[in-house]
């Protein structure tokens, strides 16, 4: 056999192999080994047989980021289609705690309520400190700068309503967490959906992506292969693809692959669709990822099932107003203003499930609503009693311990000093001297995956060689780098919405 013939045989074998393996993941494995550099023509050959549909901007995921992207893209005249594999819209966003970190808002609520100062810079510093300096500062800057205007945009254009209170949550050094009136993420998703749909966005549910089409490993993204009840089809993009499909908290294998200590027995606050396959499909076309090992546990989920119901948001809202966390022995185990990772670890270290948040009547209007607490009591989630001793009975913790813990904590507030856990005591913290008193049981559950696709400040997805992938954007929990090793509570919502808006705006600007 002459040389030419041998070469051609090898070539065709490689081609056949690529054809056979076909699937994106297999091909990506080859790409990672460098083999595809020579075989890239085989990649270029891989195109769908037919395009069944064409849109300007195609978005995967109908949560905060996807809806914000759609609102901006459709608002700029782009024919915009959102796909979601789930039968209902909103993903994790619609069930989130309804919290939004922003150093300001159009009502100047913080100032109005006399809750101290805050700045964009302070929000950024807290976020980076909370993420152990793993955060990419340029991305954090974008989030904190855009947070107030994105909040105001939802209020002005989407009819969002926020409560007249501002919370200080773990890891934040200022009172900056806004809560929507609904007290659940739906407040924001509905506002965003309203804007997006009024501009002509179509939301197509029950449609899952099966691969991303890209022209070779250097060319532009072309579209998606998708599957739903009606069968398989290929959707071509004229302008851009935006990935906004969330994290992988519900994917037990994926989260443990990257972080072995996140074992399958740990509960999860996420919806079932948070399985991260879009990250793998993006990797298969060359997208870079970072920080995939950083998996956040929400320290205050419902202990038995791990869901984050309304009562489970109270432990997060309360620390700025003097809420106390105790273990089953009735003793404090952490500074209540600590970050989520610290609180979760401290809870686990008590060695006895569950732990509790304890608060009093006076704190309720400062951090939440009486109506929510009433409902929580009816469901058996909140416990209540007129005295600490009686509350201890409800909680099944030693009454003498709990009484001692609360009276000592009251003294710390009076002294403006917490010698036990060094909590930064503020004047807004209320001593628990008057009943009724309340408690809610809590335990850590997987909540957020900080890692994901690498993006730049324009929300473009960066490939493994450091270049933006043409016509591909990403925003929200699918991306990595904004939150570093540990996301501060209530930073996810501004992250998703600010970067979603940027992705949608830039997607609409792409040349068809």
Partner 1 sequence: MNRIPVVLCAAMLLIPACTGNPLIRKVPPGPEAEVAACMDCHSNVDELFSKEHPAVSGDDIRTCFSCHQPMDPKKAEPNTFSATLHRAHLNKESGVDCLSCHSWIPGRHFGISGTGVDLGPLPENNMPLLKKTFLSWAGSRYLDARHAKQNVTCSGCHGDSLPAPGDTIKNERCLMCHGSYDALAEKTVPEIFPDRNPHQSHLGVIDCTVCHVAHGESRAYCLECHQKFVMKTPG
Which residue carries 């060359």 as its tokens?
Answer: 286
CB 450 within 8 A of CB 128: no
For the bound state, the minimum distance from the C-beta of residue 190 to partner 1, rounded and expressed in Å, comes to 7
Contact region for partner 1 (CB under 8 A) — 101-109, 183-191, 312-320, 331-339? 183-191
Rounded distance between C-alpha atoms, residue 287 and residue 296, angstroms? 23
- The residues in 348-387 that bind partner 1, with binding defined as CB under 8 A, are 375, 378-379
Among 190, 251, 327, 418, binds partner 1 (CB under 8 A): 190
Among 15, 186, 238, 401, binds partner 1 (CB under 8 A): 186
For the bound state, the minimum distance from the C-beta of residue 368 to partner 1, rounded and expressed in Å, comes to 16
For the bound state, the minimum distance from the C-beta of residue 231 to partner 1, rounded and expressed in Å, comes to 7
Rounded distance between C-alpha atoms, residue 194 and residue 499, angstroms? 18
- The residues in 265-304 that bind partner 1, with binding defined as CB under 8 A, are 271-272, 304
Among 58, 184, 290, 498, binds partner 1 (CB under 8 A): 184
Among 69, 73, 94, 203, binds partner 1 (CB under 8 A): 94
Among 44, 113, 293, 307, binds partner 1 (CB under 8 A): 307
Q: Which is nearer to partner 1, 238 or 381 (CB)?
A: 381
Contact region for partner 1 (CB under 8 A) — 182-190, 281-289, 321-329, 484-492? 182-190
Neighbours of 233 (CB within 10 A): 16
Contact region for partner 1 (CB under 8 A) — 82-90, 396-404, 440-448, 487-495? 82-90
Asked if 264 is part of the footprint of partner 1 (rule: CB under 8 A), the reply reads no
For the bound state, the minimum distance from the C-beta of residue 306 to partner 1, rounded and expressed in Å, comes to 9
Q: Which is nearer to partner 1, 3 or 230 (CB)?
A: 230
- Phi/psi for 405 (5° steps) reads -60, -45
Among 1, 2, 5, 229, binds partner 1 (CB under 8 A): 229
Token pair in block for residue 207: 């449609």
Pick the closest to residue 325 from 266, 386, 402 (CA basis): 402
Residues contacting 203, CB < 8 A, separation 6+: 62, 70, 82, 84, 89, 193, 196, 197
Burial of 436 (0-12, 13-18, 19+ CB in 10 A): middle
DSSP 111-178: HHTT-----HHHHHHHHHHHTTT-S-HHHHHHHHHHHHHHHHHHHHHH---B-S--B--TT-SSS-EE
Rounded distance between C-alpha atoms, residue 461 and residue 286, angstroms? 10
Catalytic positions: 340
For the bound state, the minimum distance from the C-beta of residue 208 to partner 1, rounded and expressed in Å, comes to 14
CB 419 within 8 A of CB 412: yes
CA dihedral angle for residue 80, residue 82, residue 83, residue 86, rounded to 10 degrees: -160
- The residues in 453-482 that bind partner 1, with binding defined as CB under 8 A, are none
For the bound state, the minimum distance from the C-beta of residue 229 to partner 1, rounded and expressed in Å, comes to 4
Among 39, 75, 90, 481, binds partner 1 (CB under 8 A): 90
Asked if 422 is part of the footprint of partner 1 (rule: CB under 8 A), the reply reads no
Q: Classify residue 33 by its DSSP letter.
A: T
DSSP 459-503: -EEEBTTS-EEEEEEE-GGGEESSSTTSPPTT-HHHHHHHHHHHH
Asked if 132 is part of the footprint of partner 1 (rule: CB under 8 A), the reply reads no
Under DSSP, is residue 252 helix (H, G, I), strand (E, B) or coil? Answer: helix
Asked if 205 is part of the footprint of partner 1 (rule: CB under 8 A), the reply reads yes
Asked if 231 is part of the footprint of partner 1 (rule: CB under 8 A), the reply reads yes
Q: Which is nearer to partner 1, 16 or 371 (CB)?
A: 371
Instruction: Give how far the C-alpha of residue 50 lies from the chain's centroid of Cα atoms, to the nearest Å.
Output: 35
Contact region for partner 1 (CB under 8 A) — 70-78, 88-96, 160-168, 361-369? 88-96
Q: Which is nearer to partner 1, 94 or 243 (CB)?
A: 94
150-189 burial string, b = 16+ CB within 10 Å, else e? bbbbbbebbebebbebbbbbbbbbbbbbbbbebbbbbbbb
Q: Which is nearer to partner 1, 121 or 272 (CB)?
A: 272
Rounded distance between C-alpha atoms, residue 106 and residue 176, angstroms? 13
Q: Which is nearer to partner 1, 67 or 406 (CB)?
A: 67
Which residue carries 């506002």 as its tokens?
Answer: 191
For the bound state, the minimum distance from the C-beta of residue 248 to partner 1, rounded and expressed in Å, comes to 17
Asked if 18 is part of the footprint of partner 1 (rule: CB under 8 A), the reply reads no
Token pair in block for residue 164: 């007249």
Asked if 228 is part of the footprint of partner 1 (rule: CB under 8 A), the reply reads yes
For the bound state, the minimum distance from the C-beta of residue 301 to partner 1, rounded and expressed in Å, comes to 12
Contact region for partner 1 (CB under 8 A) — 133-141, 222-230, 355-363, 404-412? 222-230
Q: Under rule CB under 8 A, how many of the chain's residues touch partner 1? A: 22
Q: Which is nearer to partner 1, 3 or 229 (CB)?
A: 229
Residues that bind partner 1 (CB under 8 A): 87-88, 90, 94-95, 184, 186, 190, 205-206, 228-231, 271-272, 304-305, 307, 375, 378-379
């Amino acid at each position: 056999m002459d040389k030419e013939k041998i070469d051609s045989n090898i070539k065709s074998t490689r081609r056949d192999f690529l054809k056979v393996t076909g699937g994106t993941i297999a091909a990506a494995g080859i790409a990672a080994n460098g083999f595809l550099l020579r075989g890239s023509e085989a990649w270029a050959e891989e195109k769908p047989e037919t395009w069944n549909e064409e849109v300007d901007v195609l978005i995967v995921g109908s949560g905060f980021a996807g809806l914000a992207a759609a609102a901006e893209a459709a608002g700029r005249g782009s024919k915009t289609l959102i796909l979601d594999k789930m039968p209902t819209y909103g993903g994790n966003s619609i069930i989130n705690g309804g919290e939004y970190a922003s150093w300001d808002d159009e009502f100047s609520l913080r100032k109005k309520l006399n809750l101290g100062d805050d700045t964009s810079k302070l929000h950024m510093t807290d976020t980076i400190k909370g993420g152990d300096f793993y955060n990419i500062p340029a991305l954090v800057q974008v989030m904190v700068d855009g947070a107030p205007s994105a909040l105001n945009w939802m209020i002005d254009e989407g009819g969002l309503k926020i409560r007249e209170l501002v919370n200080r949550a773990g890891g934040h050094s200022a009172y900056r967490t806004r809560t929507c009136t609904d007290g659940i993420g739906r407040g924001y998703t509905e506002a965003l959906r309203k804007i997006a749909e009024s501009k002509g966005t179509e939301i197509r549910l029950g449609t899952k992506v099966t691969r991303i089409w890209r022209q070779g490993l250097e060319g532009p993204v072309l579209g998606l292969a998708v599957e739903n009840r009606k069968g398989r089809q290929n959707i071509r993009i004229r302008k851009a693809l935006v990935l906004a499909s969330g994290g992988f908290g519900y994917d037990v294998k994926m989260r443990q692959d990257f972080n072995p200590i996140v074992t399958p027995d740990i509960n999860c606050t996420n919806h079932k669709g948070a399985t991260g396959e879009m990250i793998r499909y993006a990797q298969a076309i060359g997208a870079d990822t970072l920080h995939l090992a950083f998996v956040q546990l929400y320290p205050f989920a419902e202990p038995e099932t791990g869901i984050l119901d309304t009562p489970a948001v109270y432990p997060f809202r309360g620390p700025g107003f003097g809420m106390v966390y105790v273990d089953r022995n009735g003793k404090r185990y952490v500074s209540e203003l600590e970050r989520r990772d610290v609180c979760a670890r401290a809870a686990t270290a008590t060695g006895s499930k569950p732990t509790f948040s304890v608060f009093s009547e006076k704190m309720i209007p400062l951090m939440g609503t009486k109506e929510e607490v009433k409902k929580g009591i009816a469901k058996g989630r909140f416990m209540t009693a007129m005295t600490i001793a009686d509350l201890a009975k409800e909680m099944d913790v030693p009454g003498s311990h709990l009484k001692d813990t609360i009276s000592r904590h009251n003294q710390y507030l009076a002294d403006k000093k917490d010698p036990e856990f060094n909590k930064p005591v503020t004047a807004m913290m209320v001593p628990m001297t008057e009943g009724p008193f309340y408690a809610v049981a809590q335990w850590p559950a997987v909540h957020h995956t900080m890692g994901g696709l690498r993006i730049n400040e324009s929300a473009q997805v960066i490939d493994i060689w450091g270049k933006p992938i043409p016509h591909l954007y990403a925003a929200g929990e699918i991306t990595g780098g904004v939150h570093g090793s540990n996301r501060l509570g209530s930073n996810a919502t501004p992250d998703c919405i600010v970067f979603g808006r940027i992705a949608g705006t830039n997607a609409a600007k792409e040349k068809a």
